[in-house]
Amino acid sequence: MTKEAIVKELVAQGKRLLDSSSAFHEFTGNADADALLNDLERFPHAFVIGCIMDRQVKAERAWIIPYEFARVLGDFSFATLSALSQARIYKLMTKPRSLHRFAEDMSRNFYDAIQLIGSNWGGDASRIWTNKPSSAQVVYRFLQFRGVGPKIATMAANILARNLKVPFSDYFSIDISVDVQVRRVFWRLGLSERNESIDSITYLARSLNPEFPGLLDSPAWNLGRNYCLETEPNCSKCPMSKKHLCPWPNRKLTDDTLAVAASVRDHRAGVKGKPAKRVVRKLKKRLS
Ligand code: SF4
């Protein structure tokens, strides 16, 4: 197996998703919330707010916030949202329960986003991505929102292009969004070193697929989420292993790794109960 073959397979998986006819993305698993977020014609600001909330909490919890607001307010029209004060948004964000780990900061981000959509985009957030803009334009426009950094801005552009089939004139500036799954899969596939920085992996993805670096995002993330688990990678079921593309299952184990593996086996065989489980988990982490 070669790195070229691995990249070719990841790109092919990414292209299949990009070329699929389905223009729908499951953000939350809640049908009503997902319908709101996918309705870019009537509620484009819901997608923008969802992106802005997607920080430091589980994605599903962040993306359901527009729907939670709509439930209380009765709708999620831009007119309704633009009439809300920052204090009212904070109240909706925190009562009867906190919708976000950083409710205060996110309330400010929410409020500022509505103001910016009003002043820059005439209340129509879809103007951020309509008329086939370049990927750099879309990423730049998302970066104008308070609380949005390159990771969220490129994620937003990636979901619009890849999942919601919004046409762009190019895809050069849509980077990979590096998280723990992507980092682990890149390392085990032999594309990067262990614990490389976000910047380093971002540039690596640019070098591997310059026309659309973010195309590698979804295949790597799916492998990490479904097969390449942190402590027990399910290599026998993994498509990369079935195609003999991943070097990880055949890696040469060092003495240290073998010693840790033996300890895991000993603990499994000899000691039962919670403390033993914790030890096994810790030891296995050293193997991963
Ligand atoms: S073959 Fe194993 S190590 Fe390689 S990507 Fe799949 S699950 Fe991860």
**Same domain (yes/no): 206, 262:** no
pLDDT of 257: 66
**Same domain (yes/no): 188, 270:** no
**Same domain (yes/no): 44, 70:** yes
pLDDT of 214: 96
pLDDT of 250: 86
**Same domain (yes/no): 9, 73:** no
Q: Mark which of 128, 155, 184 sits at the end of a domain.
A: 128
pLDDT of 287: 55
Closest CA to 80 of 18, 140, 123: 123
Which residue's CA is the nearest one to ligand 1's atom 3?
248
Position in ligand 1 atom list of the atom nearest CA 247 = 4
Q: Is 138 within a domain?
A: no
**Same domain (yes/no): 76, 119:** yes
**Same domain (yes/no): 187, 268:** no
pLDDT digits (tens, 9 = 90+) for 214-244: 999 999 999 999 999 988 899 999 999 999 9
Low pLDDT (below 50) residues in the chain? none
- Report yes or no: 256 and 233 within 8 Å, Cβ to Cβ: no
Question: How many domains does the chain contain in total?
Answer: 3
**Same domain (yes/no): 35, 120:** yes
pLDDT digits (tens, 9 = 90+) for 28-78: 999 999 999 999 999 999 999 999 999 999 999 999 999 999 999 999 999
Q: Is 80 within a domain?
A: yes
Q: Mark which of 110, 128, 146 sits at the end of a domain.
A: 128
Beta strands in the chain (DSSP E): none
- The neighbour count for residue 280, using CB atoms within 10 Å, is 18
Full residue range of the structural domain in which residue 275 is found: 255-287
Q: Is 193 within a domain?
A: yes
Contacts of the segment 22-27: beta carbons below 8 A, 24+ positions apart: 23/163, 23/164, 23/165, 24/163, 24/164, 25/159, 25/163, 25/164, 27/59, 27/60, 27/63, 27/64
Ligand 1 within 6 A of CB of 235: yes
pLDDT of 195: 85
**Same domain (yes/no): 91, 181:** no
Ligand 1 within 6 A of CB of 240: yes
Ligand 1 pocket test, pick from 227, 229, 231, 236 with the greatest ligand atom count within 8 Å of Cβ, gives: 227
Q: Is 76 within a domain?
A: yes
**DSSP codes joined into one string, 47-108:** HHHHHHH-SSS-HHHHHTHHHHHHHHHS---HHHHHT--HHHHHHHHHSSS-SSTTHHHHHH
The structure tokens 């426009």 sit at 141
Question: Tokens in use for 188?
Answer: 């085990």
Question: Tokens in use for 33?
Answer: 């919330």
Ligand 1 within 6 A of CB of 10: no
**Same domain (yes/no): 199, 237:** yes
pLDDT of 232: 83
Ligand 1 within 6 A of CB of 191: no
**Same domain (yes/no): 227, 275:** no
Q: Mark which of 128, 162, 190 sits at the end of a domain.
A: 128
